Amino acid sequence: MGIHLFNIDLKTNKCYNIYKEHKVQENGISSEKNDGYQGVLLFSNNLESNDYLIDWVEFEHGGNKKNTTYATHKKTFIFNIDKLTEDNMLVVRYGARGSFSDRWYRKNLKLKITIS
């Protein structure tokens, strides 16, 4: 899921020296098909490269066992505006790791972006 920041060039905006911090809250409902660790990753570009990774959070929905029941998880990223590229783009990606298949599901996604 990619979000373009309203085509506003935040780095050359007159308010750049005032508004330096971005806060992104990703909120959704998760369920596991297989036991594993779930990850939410925030990138500054849609290219297939970890060079644009801003931050990531990892969580374990089912604790130490598979949990197929849906539950809400909220993840928060706080980062400096300097981490954005010239495209002013935020891209949210999802990943997983664990033994065997670690498929999981995410639905009812909401993003809240705060600039301060």
**pLDDT block averages, 10 residues each, the chain of length 116:** 46 53 80 83 85 86 81 85 77 81 82 75
| Residue at token pair 């060039």 | 9
CATH number (domain holding residue 50): 2.60.120
Q: What's residue 8's pLDDT? A: 47
3-state secondary structure of 91: strand
End-to-end CA distance of the chain: 23
Number of domains in the chain: 1
d(CA 16, CA 14) in angstroms, rounded, equals 6
List C-alpha distances in Å: 44 to 9, 31, 104, 114. 14, 27, 24, 16
Containing structural domain, residue 6: 2-115
Per DSSP, 1 falls in state -
